[in-house]
Amino acid sequence: MAFIIKRTFLMIPQLLLLSVLIFFLAKQMPGDAVTGAFMGKPNVSAEQMEKIRLQHGLNDPWIVQYGRWIGDAIRGDFGQSFVHKQPVTQLLAGRIENTIWLSLATLIVTYSLAIPLGLLAGRWTGSFADQVIVTYNYISFATPVFVFALLMLYVFGFVLDWFPSGGSVDIRMEEGTAEYVWDKLKHLVLPVLSGSLLLTYSTVQYLRNEIIETKMKDFVKTARAKGVPENVVYRRHILRHSMLPIAAFLGYELTGLIAGSVFIETIFSYPGLGRLFIDSIMARDFTVVTALVLISGAAVIVGTLLSDIILRIVDPRIRLG
């Protein structure tokens, strides 16, 4: 418990430093939120845009704007989106939920596939099954996510028409009903499979290598020399030792998916944080961009803490700072 409290307090200066960096870099980008909001609207004069800048304090020094922004952010107010004409917090609310569900589903499917494949390849190294799994890993590693996602969309969304090709739910569905939940799940199938089928390679390869390396450890050789059955050696010694790094990576994987779902969400028109991030950059909606980057950075920091906690639970012998 002490290390959790200590790490939580350490997160505060990390988040503050991150917020300063994000806000400063955002201010170095060409144009501003007003320029992006009224781009392509010749009926809005330069004088009118300048008046809006003055009203919102956009001409103040960046450090003054940062102080105002971080003070509001601590209270949960990330400002107003000039493009969407609504508070950023309200804009993010539904998008965050969609991205979390997409990330959780992708993580569950990824681990459900990767752990059995890694265990199989690691235990029976050199077998036909191992060769097939290794070949699959190479193909997964070499295939860009956006190429595979587009292929899945074309085959299963347009040609076969088995699953919806975009969105998160049919607008005709009534929220709270069983049909609504089922439709949400159907909209998740293609994005989740497009991400998980390619993300498995890292976990599979890492687990396979860990098992192969653990087989050569002295404590495994000692157990075998004492006549311990191979199944017991594998279950109690090799498997437990090899699974520790996988458990530790769980927090990183989840937050990485939340922060890095840009391609999948864009290709499948899935209304999550990733797609909103790209749209906001293109529209120069800086209040939304800074909020999203800060949330993503905070998620990574929290994911690090979560991984340490999981590792401590799995193996209490490990002491973390």
Q: Is the pLDDT of residue 306 over 80?
A: no
Least confident of 28-37, 111-120, 124-133, 215-224: 28-37
What confidence tens digit (pLDDT) does each residue in 245-267 have?
A: 676 676 667 666 766 677 788 88
What confidence tens digit (pLDDT) does each residue in 202-260 have?
A: 888 888 888 888 877 777 778 778 777 877 777 777 777 777 767 667 666 766 676 66
Picking from 260, 263, 217, 272, the residue whose alpha carbon sits closest to that of residue 240 is 217
Task: pLDDT band for 32, please (50, 70, 90 cuts).
Answer: low
Task: pLDDT band for 176, please (50, 70, 90 cuts).
Answer: confident
Task: pLDDT band for 199, please (50, 70, 90 cuts).
Answer: confident
User: Can you give 130-178 as a three-state secondary structure string?
Assistant: HHHHHHHHHHHHHCCHHHHHHHHHHHHHHHCCCCCCCCCCCCCCCCCCH
Picking from 153, 191, 187, the residue whose alpha carbon sits closest to that of residue 170 is 187
Q: Is the pLDDT of residue 158 over 70?
A: yes
- In the three-class reduction of DSSP (H, G, I as helix; E, B as strand; rest coil), residue 258 is classed as helix
Least confident of 44-48, 184-188, 275-279, 301-305: 44-48
Nearest 5 degrees, angle CA 104-CA 107-CA 108?
85
pTM of the predicted structure, to 2 decimals: 0.74
| Cβ neighbours for 121, distance < 8 A, ≥ 6 positions apart | 129, 130, 133, 134, 204, 208
Q: Is the pLDDT of residue 273 over 60?
A: yes
**Lookup: tokens for 195:** 């991400």
Q: Is the pLDDT of residue 104 over 60?
A: yes
Give dist(CA 31, CA 36) in Å, integer. 7
Q: What does pLDDT average to over the chain?
A: 78
Cα–Cα distances in angstroms (integers) from residue 9 to residues 17, 143, 252, 307, in the given order:
14, 41, 20, 17
Q: Is the pLDDT of residue 160 over 60?
A: yes
Q: Is the pLDDT of residue 318 over 60?
A: no
pLDDT of residue 31: 62
